[in-house]
Amino acid sequence: MGEAKRLNITRSLELFEEAKTLVPGGVLGARKPSDFIQGEYPIFLETGKGCRLTDVDGNVFIDFLCGYGPIILGYREEEVDDAVIRQIKEKGFCFSLTQRYQNELAKKIREHVPCSELSIFLKTGSDATTASIRIARAYTGRIKVMRCGYHGWHDWCVEMKGGIPEKLYEDVHEFHYNDLSSLEDLMKRYGDETAAIIMTPFGHPLHEKMQEPKPGFLEGVRELADRYGAVLIFDEVRTCFRLSMGGAQKLYNVIPDMAVLGKGMANGYAISVVTGKKDVMMAAAKKLFISSTFFPNSDGYIAALKTIEILERDNVLKNIWEKGGRFLKNIQSVIDKYHVGAELSGVPPMFFITFKRDEKEEYRNKRDDFYTQLIRRGIFLTPHHHGYICYRHEEEDLDIAVRAIDESLAYVEEKYGKKG
């Protein structure tokens, strides 16, 4: 299989050089060129519509990153955008007091999310996970936190510790997904001091294969939280309104004390939620301070209400599970053809193609070559983060992606031989 033609990303590169004189590093966070494949992926995008993106050089891609998750319907979803525009033009969205849409959205979340009795609205996932920890500490009067998964960029949880005093995270201890014994060991040492166990109920670790919970794992975590009087928090930023309307807690029937919601709820508009049981959540009213000028802004509420309405009305998640299931089955059939160590993990709404690790770390080169061929063929996935299916992915889009995956794996096998 021949190598695909390299993309013209001249304008992206020019803008990046300019950006480096204006912004530290040019681009921050998970959008840095080094988080993709430098020199191959665009750096600046121009437009999005449905499931397609166009970069500043005019290259068009079928997108499976979905803005790192918030795009559950599609880019520029007219019903959602029109509802927000009406709110802005006819009523306004930023006031000193709260608009009534707070109540409407809280009731809608209570309707779908099993643990939801009271809700607090914020803007980002990091805001919400940090608020959930503060609530758990205030409620229990304890300090220590057991964590599993990615929970944002704030001091207590970020992986890169630059600029953060150790004392701000010394009471946070990590356990491993699907390894109940690692949590049991921590709770034997610190259980009576533990305020919260926070975890992603579906395993999506950074740069690694995705994992569904093993039988008894989530139930075991729930039992440990109960035994030691810790607050169990499910970080459902990526899973609620995507794996099911009620999140992984509803899908797997294990109910936490609190849950953190965000991506997908408002189809790209900035909003997040801490929701949970009344006795725990009331600590936020009595024992601590959570506030921001922008938390009550109603643009996010309106977008969320309209997005949830569409999810309900059009049975969106059923559609995503069905076409995503066919898509993953076809990808697996392609992967089985080529002996290069490629692996598919995840579930129909969220998936990841990785490569088996080897002693010589050749898998890194295979991975980069594979994703280079994919982006050149117009498929927007990243080597370091899982992908998503959105409502506007059509069968034709998924078939095009499967062919590109087939051609890219054929290229890798031809270059490296049959290994893995």
Give the integer Cα–Cα distance in Å for 351 and 364.
19
Which phi and psi angles does 251 have, rounded to 5°?
-60, -40
pLDDT of 104 reads 98
Region 149-165 average pLDDT: 93
pLDDT band at 244 (very low <50, low <70, confident <90, very high): very high
* pLDDT for 220 beyond 70: yes
Nearest to 254 by CA among 195, 345, 180, 164: 180
* pLDDT for 64 beyond 90: yes
Interval 311-331: pLDDT, tens:
999 999 999 999 999 999 999
Interval 91-135: pLDDT, tens:
999 999 999 999 999 999 999 999 999 999 999 999 999 999 999
pLDDT of 207 reads 82
HSE, CB side, 13 Å, CA atoms: give it for residue 164: 15
* Average pLDDT of every residue of the chain: 96
pLDDT of 205 reads 87
Nearest to 327 by CA among 280, 268, 267, 396: 396
Contact assessment for residue 48 and residue 76, using Cβ atoms and an 8 Å cutoff: yes
Tell me which residue has tokens 């610190």: 190
Interval 273-306: pLDDT, tens:
999 999 999 999 989 999 999 999 999 999 999 9
pLDDT band at 206 (very low <50, low <70, confident <90, very high): confident
Spell out the domains of the chain, with CATH numbers in brackets: 10-75+316-416 (3.90.1150.10), 78-313 (3.40.640.10)
Region 399-420 average pLDDT: 93
Interval 342-367: pLDDT, tens:
999 999 999 999 999 988 889 999 99
pLDDT band at 420 (very low <50, low <70, confident <90, very high): low
pLDDT of 2 reads 82
Alpha carbon distance, N-terminus to C-terminus of the chain: 19
Q: Which residues of 220-231 are buried (b: 16+ CB within 10 A; e: fewer)?
A: bbbebbeebebb
Which phi and psi angles does 346 have, rounded to 5°?
115, -165
Region 390-407 average pLDDT: 98
Tell me which residue has tokens 């006819």: 90
pLDDT of 254 reads 98
pTM here is 0.96
Helix locations, 253-361, DSSP H:
278-281, 283-286, 298-313, 316-337
Give the integer Cα–Cα distance in Å for 91 and 106.
20
pLDDT band at 250 (very low <50, low <70, confident <90, very high): very high
* pLDDT for 268 beyond 70: yes
